[in-house]
Structure 1
Amino acid sequence: MAVVPVRRLALLGGGFSTDDDGLLDDWVLGHARAPRPKVCFVPTASGDAPAYLERFLAAFRSRDCEPGVLPLFRRELDDDALRTLLLSQDVVYVGGGNTANLLAVWRVHGVDRLLREAYDRGTLLCGISAGANCWAEGSHTDSFGPLTFLPDGLGLLSGSVCPHYDTEPGRRSSYRAAVATGALAPGWALEDGVGALFTDGLLTEAVSRTPRAHLYRVEPDGERGAKERALPCRLLAEGR
């Protein structure tokens, strides 16, 4: 009888691009299916910014993994090679930037379909900011300038996602308003420093690199608008 792979994705409120301690990135690698995982960084949301690529490689070359990068703005792989690359990864790590642009570029190149296939085969999908937004049905974003809702995503995670819940002015009130009016489905709000792991669509672990950071479940609350519920997060420790 064939074994059905476990489908997992992680939403990150930090990582190599914002933190020096590496706790969230180590946590991600700890959930990879291989002891020395292949990790592919996808920096589409930043327009494949060279400095972002180099920062990823510098951070992950020192870890027990095989890091690589998938640029799409100067794509070099044909369709078969692109599929082979993505389906061979143990972790796909998506960077921050513009969520709307990321989704549009992925769809043009067929990356959206390949990531869904990789997910169904057991590749751990993860990312920060736009790289967290993209997995849900909808998200809260500044892709169009002002903060707004984007009822569009890959739909691998039910509901919506809001990053930077505690650090960007207006995020909390704007996201709550979008959920209250139904512009966005109920969802998950991440403060910076949090990691949330979903297994087959269900939250199975929440962690934080600082005692102050939280993950919230945000839902409509009738005439009172929206309600948020802070969820317990396990504190990650240095040197673990």
Structure 2
Amino acid sequence: MRQIIALGGGGFSMEPDNSLLDRYILKQTNKNKPKICFVPTASGDSDSYISKYYTFFTQQNCKPTHLSLFKPPTGDIRDYVLEKDIIYVGGGSTKNLLALWKEWGLDKILEEAWNQGTVLAGISAGSICWFDEGITDSYGFGLEPINCLGLLNGSNCPHYDGESERRPSYQQFIKTRQLKAGLAADDGVAIHFIDQDIHKIVSSRVSAKAYKVSLDNNKIEEELQTVFLGAC
């Protein structure tokens, strides 16, 4: 079963006192003590980001590690990745993430991991990267479209309610056909895919939502449903 869990925001880095989304990710392996690997490429392997990851996941019933492309833990990255149950990609610069992954061949390794049943998860840049395309601030002068890995169809926009320019910019890019129709997620929302279909949309916040954003007769349409994990 191929699974991707795309977070618009939230998780250990944004909600240290609300573990609902991260515990949801761990449960999807159906393993007692899953091996989870954090990939902090988009942040330039931020030490504080990595520290936050270990602070949370060492307290969970799992085996946490991380993969640095600046200080690789092994000469065989493929085997290192393919032995993991979950790959969790952090936020930061989507453009730099994609460039480094391509240079190291990690993009193809992650696709292989996905096809073998490893759960791929990620927040912000770690959400956008799995789709055909997305909206990013990686270029340093506002939000722009970016082409991504294409494991999931359509476009993606994280932080839909968390950053004031995200919603209007995403809608404008779809309206002008610079981006395909796609999925937007508020902070605190995760969209869980099995294969390329939405399996469930879950939230760590009562009011947070996800949306299918599309163009109909030159008018933007938004619609979708979200399940609050605290009520499950």
TM range (shorter): over 0.9
Cα shift at 1:74: 2.2
1:179 corresponds to 2:174: yes
Aligned to 1:227: 221
Equivalent position to 2:31, from 23, 29, 34: 34
Q: Residue 33 and residue 85 in structure 1: after superposition, are their counterparts in 2 closer, same or farther (change >3 A)?
A: farther
Equivalent position to 1:137, from 124, 129, 132: 132
Q: TM-score, normalised by structure 1?
A: 0.93
Superposed CA RMSD in Å reads: 1.2
- Asked if the contact 1:176–1:227 (Cα under 8 Å) also holds between the matched residues in 2, the reply is no
Aligned to 1:97, the other structure's residue is in SS state: coil
- Asked if the contact 1:33–1:90 (Cα under 8 Å) also holds between the matched residues in 2, the reply is no
Q: How does 1:1-240 map to 2 (within 5 A)?
A: 6-12=1-7, 13-19=9-15, 20-78=17-75, 81-145=76-140, 146-150=142-146, 152-224=147-219, 226-229=220-223, 231-237=224-230
Cα shift at 1:73: 1.5
* Cα-to-partner distance string for 1:135-163 (whole Å, 9 max, x where unaligned): 0010011011211111x111110001100
Q: TM-score, normalised by structure 2?
A: 0.96
- Asked if the contact 2:162–2:186 (Cα under 8 Å) also holds between the matched residues in 1, the reply is yes
Cα shift at 1:76: 4.2
Q: Report the count of equivalent residues.
A: 229
Structure 1 gap segments, 5+ residues each:
1-5
Aligned to 2:77, the other structure's residue is in SS state: helix
- Asked if the contact 2:5–2:119 (Cα under 8 Å) also holds between the matched residues in 1, the reply is yes
Query: Which amino acid letter does the alignment assign opposite residue 64 of structure 2?
Result: P
Aligned to 1:3: none
Identical pairs, percent? 43
